[in-house]
Structure formats: C-alpha cells, structure tokens
Structure 1
C-alpha cells in the first residue's frame, strides 16, 4: 500500500487577506520618519542640486545594472539572509553614505540598490521561487517599479503587479529602461534625505531601512500573487483585481 502525501493547499481568500495586509503596511512609519528628517517627497527632491536632479535617471539606470550583477554575484558567495539582516546591512550602508552628504550618497547608491535587490530576491525565494531563474530576476527588477514609501497610495493603483513584458530578446534592457525613470524619483528622495545638514548619516540609515523594508514587503506581495495563481489555478489578473478590491474598501 503506497503512502499518501497530503499537500496543504493555500486558502486563496486567507492568502489574499495576508497579501493585502503586507501591501498596506509596506510604507509603515517610514513616511513620518522621512518627513521629520527632511520633508515631503516633493520638497526632498527640490533640495537636490540641479545637476544631480538632471542626471538621476541615467545614474539610476547604471545603478540598476551594477546592482543586478552585484546581487547575482553575492548570491553565489553568501546564502540568503533573514529579512532583518538585509535591512540592517542596508541601514549601515545608508548611514555610511550619508556621512558626506550628496557626494558620498551618490557613491553609495549602487551598493544600496544591490542590497535592496538582493532583499527582493530573498523574498522571492521565501515565496518558493528560484532567484537565479531568468523570469524571477526579471520580476525582481519589476518590483522596483512600485511606488516608493513616500508615495501616497490608497491601494487603487496596483498596475505594476499586472505589467507584462515578454522574456525575449533585450527584455531586461527594456525593463530597466522602463523602471529607471520612476525609481530615479524614489532614489532622488533618498539622496535628498541623506543631504540634510548634520543628519546625513541618520537620514541615510533611516531611508535605507525604510526602503529595504518597503521593497521586501512589496516583493512578498508580488511573488505571493504569482505563487497563489499557480497553487490555486486562478488567473493572475483576477487575483490582482481581487487584491485591489480589498485595498479600496
């Protein structure tokens, strides 16, 4: 007589409730902290020197390419860490980058981006996906197209979860080119917070803590929806709509 292996199936409604809670709490107290350190999202960007603002998209695109290769290389050398370790490391990087204001923050930018991307890949692994798979690396970059923690979001705009690009040809180049302009605004807010006089290190550590926590949770939502679509055999777009409905009530 063969042994029967019982596989516990996910309850779609309970899982959607969990993902909705994660999405709602992603920003958390970060907005309050950053406002205390340097102001609102708009005022933070206004604090950056004009040459830095004008070069943000290009710098962000370069940082994404460097981060992707650095994150992939670090995965081969160091196994995935618990989320709090990723957050702690990113916080330390941000604090170091903020010591010298904008100049050192720009140097630190690729390293922090790589740490955030590595944290996103770790979230993918915890949701049951292989971070070395091409489609998972592709989706890890896609997560960075989510609005940053300073953006006010009532949950109605979940479009990035449904964004589609075909994994053929120069797909990663297209994805990075699409993500960079939006992410540059988010990283510009981070750079500006790190330039606050006398508080650069505190602001740098605080922003990296907030950003890493935010994108880890968004990654859990993104890959959680993918896993639920597979396990429950429910179309992914239907799950996104149902999640959106939970956020708008």
Structure 2
C-alpha cells in the first residue's frame, strides 16, 4: 500500500515555491503564543525545569520513553473506535486535559503525562492524514515520532528552524526502538517545561489549559511542515532532502 493515499498531480516550480513559503509561515507561527504565555509565568524557558522537584527532573526521559511506547501501542487500536477531529477541536481537547491536570497541581500533571503524550501523537497523526498519508504505514509512524524531535514551543525559534528541518535527515534509517530512545530525552525536557508551567499555583487549571493548547498547536504546525515536505516530495521531481534545504533557505531569508 502506498504511504500517501491520494497523490496530487505534479506541481510547477512556482507552485512548489509557493507551498514552501506557506510551510515556512506555518513553522514560524508554531511558537507564536508561547512567549506571551512565558511572560505571564514570570520567567524564561530555562527556568521552568528548575521548578520541578529533582526526582521528577531525573526521571523525565525514562517516563517519556515509556509514555511514547504506550502511545504507539495504543494508537492503532484507538483508530478503530475514535474519530479524528479537526485541528481546532484537537487543541480544545488538549486544553481541557491540561486544565484537569493543572487544577490538581504537580501530582495531577505527572499522572497526565502518558495521556498527553498519546493525545499529542494522535494530533500529529491527524495532520499526516490531512496531508493524505496512510497513518497505518510504519514509515508514517516513524515520521510521527520524529516530529517529537522538534525543540518545543518555548525554545529559541531562530535556532530551532534549522534543527527541526534537519531532524529527519539525522534519524533516517533507525529502528523504532532506537528512534524512540533518541527522541525521548529531548521530548522529556520539552514536556517537563509544560509540566512546570501548568503546575504554577497561582494559575492552576488556567495554566494547564493554556500550556496544552499551546503545545497541541505547536506539534500540529510542526507536523504540517514535516508531512508537507514529504507530500511535496511525492508530487514534484525533487528529493525530500533538497526540499528541506530549500525550506531552510526560505526561513533564513525571512
């Protein structure tokens, strides 16, 4: 079975350039509201993890890796029973999950980690499906995990544009076990920032809702970029690597 369900006709050079500009705009917008949220918390991204208890910080990578494996195992089964909602509905569901976790403080956010990871995975897969990809394909599952290799909404966007674009190139060819082990530490740090943000006592459930809304939108946008490049590679006479380099040039040019 083809990974993409409905290939489009070949595009012209001008159409490819226009799509790359749209993807660049999407990537720049991924962290749009995150900085305003950080200002409300009264600190920067580098201080968020320090707010977590040391035992929590020390176990973020292993807990995230376990949550990723659980999400991967359950995603195929959930597709049989759960419809894939729109991108906006996904963000609202994510906000509701964050509000529930944030309202109970740090214990609630820790218990929410596996649920949030599974939800974000499905949100990324939904974007792949909207791009026309078969989400039951093993290759598409690999790409879904690779989207989690992005640096997160609170990172410096000037640096992460390049980092994210090169993620697929550096991970290509690895097995699923190695891929998850490689992605989990970075994702653990990113989700640790989210846990710390939504555990702020003054904001409580509001912080949890805002954090999840921001994170869901971030990974949806990054998935649009990731799978958008893959889709372009199937409908034009260029390699995926070449398209990523072109997109990198568009982002650098501003």
Match of 2:162 among 152, 156, 172: 156
Contact 2:94 2:213 in 1 (8 A): yes
The 2-side partners of 1:51 and 1:209 are apart by 27
Aligned partner (choices 98, 103, 118) of residue 99 of structure 1: 103
Higher helix share: 2
Deviations 1:120-167 (A, max 9, x none): 000000111011111111110110001100000223332214233326
Of the three residues 23, 48, 63, the one matched with 2:27 is: 23
Provide the alpha-carbon RMSD of the alignment: 1.4
Gaps of 5+ in 1: 1-6
2:77 maps to which residue? Answer: 73
Q: How do 1:5-24 and structure 2 match up within 5 A?
A: 8-10=9-11, 11-24=15-28
Matches within 5 A, 1:83-162: 83-154=87-158, 155-157=161-163, 158-162=165-169
Partner of 1:211: 215
2:247 is matched with 243
Secondary structure of the residue that 2:32 maps to in structure 1? Answer: coil
Say if 1:38 and 1:196, in contact at 8 Å, map to a contact too: no
Deviation (angstroms), 1:68: 1.8
TM-score if structure 1 supplies the norm length? 0.92
Aligned pairs, how many?
A: 240
The answer as to whether partners of 2:171 and 2:179 remain within 8 angstroms in 1 is no
TM (normalized to structure 2)? 0.90
Q: Is the contact between residue 193 and residue 200 of structure 1 (CA under 8 Å) also seen in structure 2?
A: no
Q: 1:208: Cα distance to partner?
A: 0.6
Structure 2 counterparts to residues 40-59 of structure 1, below 5 A: 40-59=44-63
Equivalent of residue 188 in structure 1, options 173, 189, 192:
192
Runs of 4+ residues deviating >4 angstroms: none
Counterparts in 2 of 1:38 and 1:100: CA distance versus 1, 3 Å: farther
User: Residue 178 of structure 1: which of 175, 182, 204 is its match?
Assistant: 182
- Distance in 2 of aligned mates of 1:67 and 1:209: 19
Question: 5+ unaligned residues in a row in structure 2: which ranges?
Answer: 1-7
